[in-house]
Amino acid sequence: MTFSGDLSFVNDWNFFMRNPAQRFENLVATGAYAGTLEAFATGVKLKSRYEHLLDDALARKQTTFWASGSKRVIETAKYFGAGFFGVDWQDFADLQVIPETRKRRTSTLTPGKTCRKYGDNADGNGHDYGARMLYEWRGHYLPPIVARLQRENPGISFTEAHVYSMQELCGFETIALGSSPWCDVFTKEELESFGEQLGMYFDHSYDPELTFLHVEYARDLLHYYKAGPGNPYSGAMGMLWLNATANLLKEGPEKAGSLFLSFVHDGDITPMLSALELFPQSIDLPTTHVLRDRMWKTSDVIPMGGRIIFERLACAAPQYCWDNAEFGYPNHKYCTPPAEEYHVRINVNDGIVGLPGCEDGPGRSCPLEIFMGRPFRCVPYRIVFQQNSVIAMGQSIGTVQAKAVTGVLAQLRDVHGTLKTNDSLPEGILTIWTDKGRESAELIVSETLTVWWQTKGKVGECGLWWRCLGGRQMRQRVFRMRPGKETSLNLIKIVSAKLKGRSA
């Protein structure tokens, strides 16, 4: 087989990895972008930043760190350990390897392995969801490139999968060797032509910069729907790690320890970001065109060697003073005793990221007591709706179970029920939430509270995934309840199309 045109280099090209059977999916060990070098350098950098915490951990002999049971993850942890603890790290630190298996059930490191519904992908929205959405996107931007390569090589049959693999080779070979001839297969002209077609079809102005984003966008789609905010199981999987981390932060260094270091795959970081609602998308990423003004970019969120750090900050609490001048004793001054307030700050890839709705503390931090409520609000609670009947739920919101919901919401009338939060929860939050749809259904409840939930399709004139109300575009809202209080929820008006639900 002989290749021609832009693929003529393939005739003399050799796969960049020696012994691929042994080295496939391993950590890159050489070159300017070596993962070994980056892991070691990251260890040195964080040692410089958190040396006081390292000294405390060494004094307490709390130097265990963890890695999921993948060879490249383990190697990353070891090179990091050499930079962070020192080249003789094995003398005073202990690396614990956690197997990546379903048998562990609720593993915080690799929740995707232990969440059965996600792994089985029985409903099509599990582990393979991202690949399916990527496949849809490939069908929009790759056909012109496939056609060109086919014209240059009439005796060879090309598919979209072949061309996408070439683009993947461009990236991975560049990481391994510093450059790749595969990157030269794709021409600027056809990319600009593709951008112009998008501009005509979707009625937005053409910008040449946009034409170079679609390869990056393919990766964004893959991770967004595979284990990120676009996957319905993502928040629940991320809650495992978030809940464990929140408890450690609450206990503080005196009880729990000063440092906790874990190493996992990029797909195990994204669920935790979903649970925290970081990098929120007001609308899901479309598969028909590049959503330019998006928060979710893989290169920002989970680049090679990406990391997220939770910092527990101890800050001086405001001190209040007063005197008794009004009683004739102006020289006597009284002050509250010095105290500390604790905050949580999130660092994503060396950039501080504010927690949505809670970033008013020092350095965009969130008060610890408020942060502790996040694990209870990160997973949408599915509520059972039955037509023309009463919803009776006297238990905690967090234990309410869902059933599959089907039918036309407009048939629901005068539905009411009582919800009660658990006294142990800092705040109960009820989110009226459906499965994967995006066509808005408006639920107006008592006390002038409007709750939104989203189903699939286009509604009104506000565009995709929105519902017009009073000329404004409204996002989904939540219904907050105070601890130990009962609140009646009366659905008095429903505007909707069809709704499909799924069992929890």
Closest CA to 467 of 427, 409, 400, 412: 409
How many separate helices (H) and strands (E) can be counted in the chain? 16, 20
Extract the tokens encoding 426: 């800092």
The residue ranking higher by pLDDT, 485 or 83, is: 83
Extract the tokens encoding 196: 């112009």
Pinpoint the alpha helices (H) of 153-287.
160-177, 188-202, 214-226, 234-255, 266-276
> How far is residue 100's CA from residue 318's CA, in Å, rounded to a whole number?
47
Extract the tokens encoding 335: 């002050």
For residue range 258-289, what is the model confidence (pLDDT) as tens digits? 999 999 999 899 999 998 989 988 889 999 98
138-163: average pLDDT: 93
- At residue 123, the 3 state secondary structure works out as coil
Query: Sheet containing 94-98: which strands, arranged edge to edge?
Result: 94-98, 64-68, 262-263
pLDDT of residue 453: 29
Consecutive H or E run containing 136: helix 129-141
For residue range 283-294, what is the model confidence (pLDDT) as tens digits? 899 999 888 889
Report the Cα–Cα distance between both ends of the chain, in Å, rounded.
Answer: 52
For residue range 306-355, what is the model confidence (pLDDT) as tens digits? 999 999 999 988 888 877 777 776 677 788 888 889 999 999 999 999 99
Cβ-Cβ contacts under 8 Å for 159 (sequence gap 6 or more): 146
| Amino acid (1-letter code) at residue 199 | G
Pairing outcome for strands 321-324 and 94-98 = unpaired
pLDDT of residue 380: 33
Pinpoint the alpha helices (H) of 256-378.
266-276, 298-301, 368-371, 374-377
Average pLDDT, the chain: 72
- In which band, very low, low, confident or very high, does the pLDDT at 404 lie, cut at 50, 70 and 90? very low
> How far is residue 430's CA from residue 397's CA, in Å, rounded to a whole number?
7
> How far is residue 462's CA from residue 150's CA, in Å, rounded to a whole number?
42
Pairing outcome for strands 415-420 and 391-392 = parallel
φ/ψ region of 376 (left if φ > 0, alpha if ψ in -120 to 50, else beta) reads alpha
Q: Count Cα atoms within 13 angstroms, Cβ side, for 373.
A: 19
469-486: average pLDDT: 34
| Amino acid (1-letter code) at residue 414 | D
What is the b/e burial string over 26-36, where b = at least 16 CB atoms within 10 angstroms of the residue's CB?
Answer: ebbeeeeebbb
Other CB atoms closer than 10 Å to residue 290's CB: what's the count?
23
Cβ-Cβ contacts under 8 Å for 407 (sequence gap 6 or more): 387, 498, 499
> How far is residue 380's CA from residue 405's CA, in Å, rounded to a whole number?
15
> How far is residue 6's CA from residue 149's CA, in Å, rounded to a whole number?
8
